[in-house]
């Protein structure tokens, strides 16, 4: 049961570079999400997707781009990385809107922008 896989686990990049974080799930869940986790802020939603080719902004979308051409993949791209985007990024998936469905999280990507 591979579940939800994020890659890479760790990434160091330079300011101004483009970087893509990958997320892959094996359950065919409709919903996928990207969160960033920062000390003192908890988890904040960047983008989410209700289905393939349907994406929407979350709380902190600026500087990020997402796509979802296939149900199982939901990559997150930082178009021009800034130091403020140094964070731990978590991808999550969910079966549906109904109340009983929670999220399943990936193991996270620790991104450092220098």
Partner 1 sequence: AQSVSQHNHHVILSEAASLELGCNYSYGGTVNLFWYVQYPGQHLQLLLKYFSGDPLVKGIKGFEAEFIKSKFSFNLRKPSVQWSDTAEYFCAVKDGNNRLAFGKGNQVVVIP
User: Where do contacts with partner 1 occur on this chain (CB under 8 A)?
Assistant: 31, 33, 35, 40-45, 48, 50, 56, 58, 90, 92, 94, 96-108
| Cβ-based nearer residue to partner 1, 85 or 89 | 89
Q: How far apart are CA 51 and CA 12, in angstroms?
A: 30
Q: How far apart are CB 73 and partner 1 at their closest, in Å? A: 18
User: Closest separation between CB of residue 100 and partner 1, Å?
Assistant: 5
Closer by beta carbon to partner 1, 44 or else 86: 44
In degrees rounded to 5, what are phi and psi of residue 76?
Answer: -120, 125
Between 45 and 65, whose beta carbon lies closer to partner 1? 45
Task: Evaluate the CA torsion angle 14, 19, 103, 9 in order and state its sign.
Answer: negative
* Residue 24 Cβ vs partner 1, minimum distance, rounded to whole Å: 15
Q: Sign (positive/negative) of CA torsion 59, 64, 67, 72? A: negative
Q: Which is nearer to partner 1, 12 or 51 (CB)?
A: 51
CB of 59 to partner 1, least distance (A): 8
- What distances in angstroms separate CA 17 from CA 1, 11, 45, 46, 53, one per listed residue? 34, 12, 22, 19, 26
């Amino acid at each position: 049961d591979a579940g939800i896989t994020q890659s890479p686990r760790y990434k160091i990049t330079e300011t101004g570079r483009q970087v893509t974080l990958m997320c892959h799930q094996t359950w065919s869940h409709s919903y996928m999400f990207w969160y960033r986790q920062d000390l003192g802020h908890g988890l904040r939603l960047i983008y989410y997707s209700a289905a393939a080719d349907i994406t929407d902004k979350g709380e902190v979308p600026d500087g990020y781009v997402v796509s979802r051409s296939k149900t199982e993949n939901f990559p997150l791209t930082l178009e021009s990385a800034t130091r403020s985007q140094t964070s731990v990024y978590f991808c999550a998936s969910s079966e549906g809107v109904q109340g009983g469905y929670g999220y399943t999280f990936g193991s996270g990507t620790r991104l450092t922008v220098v």
